[in-house]
Structure 1
Amino acid sequence: MADLQDELHTTTGLGGFDAPLPGPERPAARSPQDAGGSGEGTEEGGSLQRARALLAVHPVADGHNGLARVLRSLPWYDLELGESALGTDLPRLRAGHVGAQFWSLHLPDALAGERAVGDALEQLDLIRTVVGAHPEGLRLAYDAGQLADARNCGRTAVVPGPAAAAAIGDSLGILRSLHALGLRLLTLARASWASEAGLTRFGEEVVREMNRLGVLADLSGACDATARRCLALSKAPVVFTRSAARALRPHPANLPDDLLTELGTAHGLCLVPLTAEQTGPSLRDVADHLDHVRRLAGAHCVGLSGTYDTGTAHPGGLADTSRYPHLVAELLDRGWTDSDVALLTWGNVQRVVRCADFTARAAQQRRGPSTARIADLDG
């Protein structure tokens, strides 16, 4: 499997089969902060223009967005016109050159069992409804090919997930049902089979079934024991959808240096969150974390996680999804190459999703759906 991942890595960069197709640039509406400035980030100039030109070809694949949860509480909304109460809408997505987003299925900690499963189903239904109501701006995507198709059509691809482990209700049959409805990431935390003690035998079977289906393992919030066991067990790359560098910010969801190094060796992906709590109060703090993760894990293992509309505060200069060009301009000023930026914004997510697709097809030729039950393995 390592050979397959190496092959994928060499073919999904600037010159491989995911090279951008020619086509018109999506309209880049100016946000109010572009006009007035926020006191943070790079001013209008050469770096910002270069950043926008790069993002027009290699848009941002945003690893975590909470819009589905927020929209459930709004009596009315229009994402095409724009919503001042949100950090995400179509004008801001276009201004920020966002080509894909993972829409989180947030489950409150108190939810478990049938209630958690039902809540996840309702959010999957809402995501389909929202995307269907905005066909000129959004498109559902379930695999790497659909991600690329949405980008080339000037739409933002919406990938359902991650969902908390409680969403599957300790049942591999429910996992398969959620996958059939579109779920593509599952967070391996807050479950009896993925706890502070690590993965149980049933938890390991969950990972194998996720590999067979093409559901990516999200390890943000998982304990170090679970993360390391999943890194060793999973045949597909693992993803940390909301994790920065613990050496720079001692947040429990951030990763220690040795785990970042292991992640790089395994060709996984660390999506650095744009939150003040995990990365710091300024745009430059976020760039520091990106530099740190790139240095330890490699340019092929770092990406972006906006975490907009999740109720968390964002660093100065990164108030909403329109601000990605300013962050990229800061990285260019720090010496990031065009190819490294292209991997950061789009190439790494595309590689991981594509590798999950390959892994699933290979696994389905070797084994059928698992019939394991938690009572049999962990009872």
Structure 2
Amino acid sequence: MWIFWWFWPLLAICASDTFRNRAEEIMRTTPVIDGHNDLPWQLLKLFNNKLNDSEANLNTLTGTHTNIPKMKAGYVGGQFWSAYMPCDTQNKDAVKRTLEQMDVIHRMCQLYPETFLCVTKSSDILQAFNDKKIASLIGVEGGHLIDSSLGVLRALYHLGMRYLTLTHNCNTPWSDNWLVDKGDDEAESQGLSVFGQRVLKEMNRLGVMIDLSHVSVATMKAALQFSKAPVIFSHSSAYTVCPHRRNVPDDVLQLVKNTRSLVMVNFYSEFVSCSKDATLSQVADHLDHIKKVAGAEAVGLGGDYDGVTELPKGLEDVSKYPDLIAELLRRNWTDTEVKGVLANNLLRVFSEVELASNHMQVPEEEPIPLGKMEGSCRTQYGYSRAPSIHLQIGALLASLASLLFGLHLL
């Protein structure tokens, strides 16, 4: 029998090809909807958002995890592009810079209409699939980017924002971020403040998905309990598999299950293996664990491409999605479960958020208390109890008059 030593390796190769072929067959009709890609951030850093620069051509772009040929090779059919700005924009030019990043996403669709279709509804994603285009949606990454303004939240919705990540790596005046759990930041809102609840209520009313990646565990639990619609984690993994504070613990995964919510697994090596080195198989371990705890309908993909530095071996760029799907098939995931991971779970959550919205309902109007706001350049228009310069002068004159009258009596 020794003469057949070559048989088993050959059989393994054939089996591998079978899973890969089956993955591609499924993905031709149910392509990937990825929850988080930071290509717009790279376009800002590399080209200052000058999309007509010859080197910025998305058909030939090099040095990034994402370009058009790689997306097509990876069967990406839907992408939430991240409109992201770092925390150092908070209390400064956060809203302006966010608008610029949203503009970049819209211009990507205008510049490459044969590839991208900017959409805002779950039904539009399915239409883009049928038209063989990549449905392009906007996720705003970081609650600091609305500058604690319900009006800005609504304006960003009208410009196409369909999820808001409640925090990035900093607290907002109304919600706590994951660094609180690590001990690097102080809890300020104990999860969500009263104004934070108003933000979530308004997101429910509008039909904006609540994204809990980057938030503290207390914020996760508060949002999952408060929201009237399912929520998402656009790019987070399982804490039990890798105990990093950016990942989702099992008790929260149970809430995810109970609320029909969604965890879109992040590929950043530090979140996958808690080290700089990780593998595709370890990413599949996260998918397996979330499926085990929260159910197959709770699992999605949020690679975080072009937002991270280290990626697992086998998932180096967006072209590698079929290899991950092949691994799930090798692990006996059913076709239905795989289609859920690829797109159907996100489409379900998105449609349920849309159904829970109610634009006829009275909008939230109570602003955040002025004392919660920071920044020396802020004006105070609209805060009826906030002293204007005229009231300040009047109060000063009244105080002086009282003092002089008191001295006269002496």
Q: TM-score, normalised by structure 1?
A: 0.85
Gaps of 5+ in 2: 1-12, 48-52, 177-186, 374-410
Change in Cα spacing, 1:115 to 1:212, as seen in structure 2 (3 Å) is: same
User: Which stretch shifts more, 305-314 or 265-274?
Assistant: 305-314
Answering whether residue 125 of structure 2 is matched by residue 138 of structure 1, we say: no
> 2:58 and 2:86 mapped to 1: Cα distance?
29
Match of 2:359 in 1: 364
Map of 1:94-105 to 2, 5 A cutoff?
94-105=72-83
Which amino acid in 1 is paired with 2:46? L
Match of 2:129 in 1: 151
Of 30, 38, 54, which aligns to 1:58?
30
What per-residue deviation string (whole Å, max 9, x for no partner) do you get for residues 203-237 of structure 1? Answer: 00000000111111111111111111111111111
What per-residue deviation string (whole Å, max 9, x for no partner) do you get for residues 181-212 of structure 1? Answer: 11111111221100232101100000000011
Distance apart, 1:163 and its partner CA: 2.3
SS in 1 for 2:172: coil
Distance apart, 1:275 and its partner CA: 1.6
> 1:78 and 1:378 mapped to 2: Cα distance?
41
> 1:311 and 1:265 mapped to 2: Cα distance?
31
Of 61, 64, 67, which aligns to 2:39?
67
Change in Cα spacing, 1:201 to 1:130, as seen in structure 2 (3 Å) is: same
> 1:55 and 1:42 mapped to 2: Cα distance?
20
Match of 1:194 in 2: 175
Match of 1:353 in 2: 350
> 1:259 and 1:342 mapped to 2: Cα distance?
24
Of 282, 303, 307, which aligns to 1:285?
282
Asked if 2 retains the 8 angstrom alpha-carbon contact of 1:202 and 1:377, the reply is no
Query: Radius of gyration: which is bigger?
Result: 2
Distance apart, 1:84 and its partner CA: 2.1
Distance apart, 1:44 and its partner CA: 5.8
Match of 1:110 in 2: 88
Match of 2:141 in 1: 163
Which amino acid in 2 is paired with 1:159? L
Match of 2:214 in 1: 221
> 1:285 and 1:73 mapped to 2: Cα distance?
31
Distance apart, 1:312 and its partner CA: 2.4
Map of 1:121-136 to 2, 5 A cutoff?
121-136=99-114
Answering whether residue 369 of structure 2 is matched by residue 375 of structure 1, we say: yes
Which amino acid in 1 is paired with 2:304? T
Change in Cα spacing, 1:339 to 1:177, as seen in structure 2 (3 Å) is: same
> 1:358 and 1:82 mapped to 2: Cα distance?
40
> 1:377 and 1:347 mapped to 2: Cα distance?
44
Answering whether residue 238 of structure 2 is matched by residue 245 of structure 1, we say: yes
Distance apart, 1:372 and its partner CA: 1.1
Match of 1:264 in 2: 257
Asked if 1 retains the 8 angstrom alpha-carbon contact of 2:299 and 2:345, the reply is yes
State the percentage of identical aligned residues. Answer: 37
Distance apart, 1:162 and its partner CA: 3.1
Match of 1:230 in 2: 223
SS in 2 for 1:127: helix
> 1:192 and 1:114 mapped to 2: Cα distance?
14
Which amino acid in 2 is paired with 1:201? V
Which amino acid in 2 is paired with 1:143? K
Distance apart, 1:334 and its partner CA: 0.5
SS in 2 for 1:177: helix
Asked if 2 retains the 8 angstrom alpha-carbon contact of 1:42 and 1:329, the reply is no
> 2:271 and 2:333 mapped to 1: Cα distance?
22
> 2:106 and 2:46 mapped to 1: Cα distance?
17
User: Which stretch shifts more, 107-116 or 211-220?
Assistant: 107-116
Asked if 2 retains the 8 angstrom alpha-carbon contact of 1:42 and 1:48, the reply is no
Asked if 1 retains the 8 angstrom alpha-carbon contact of 2:141 and 2:164, the reply is yes
Count residues in correspondence: 336
More contact order relative to length (CA 8 Å, sep ≥ 6): 1
> 1:358 and 1:318 mapped to 2: Cα distance?
35
Match of 2:19 in 1: 47
Asked if 1 retains the 8 angstrom alpha-carbon contact of 2:230 and 2:260, the reply is yes
Q: TM-score, normalised by structure 2?
A: 0.79
Asked if 1 retains the 8 angstrom alpha-carbon contact of 2:268 and 2:308, the reply is no
> 1:311 and 1:256 mapped to 2: Cα distance?
22
Asked if 2 retains the 8 angstrom alpha-carbon contact of 1:107 and 1:116, the reply is yes
> 1:251 and 1:66 mapped to 2: Cα distance?
21
Asked if 2 retains the 8 angstrom alpha-carbon contact of 1:204 and 1:233, the reply is yes
> 1:376 and 1:265 mapped to 2: Cα distance?
37
Of 285, 297, 302, which aligns to 2:299?
302
User: Which stretch shifts more, 210-219 or 68-77?
Assistant: 68-77
What per-residue deviation string (whole Å, max 9, x for no partner) do you get for residues 138-171 of structure 1? Answer: 1111110111111111111111113210111111
Asked if 1 retains the 8 angstrom alpha-carbon contact of 2:209 and 2:232, the reply is yes
Answering whether residue 316 of structure 2 is matched by residue 319 of structure 1, we say: yes
What per-residue deviation string (whole Å, max 9, x for no partner) do you get for residues 308-358 of structure 1? Answer: 111321100101111000000011000000000000001011111111111
Change in Cα spacing, 1:303 to 1:377, as seen in structure 2 (3 Å) is: farther
Report the RMSD for the aligned CA atoms in angstroms: 1.8
Asked if 1 retains the 8 angstrom alpha-carbon contact of 2:173 and 2:372, the reply is no
> 1:311 and 1:297 mapped to 2: Cα distance?
26
Gaps of 5+ in 1: 1-40
Distance apart, 1:246 and its partner CA: 0.7
SS in 1 for 2:40: helix
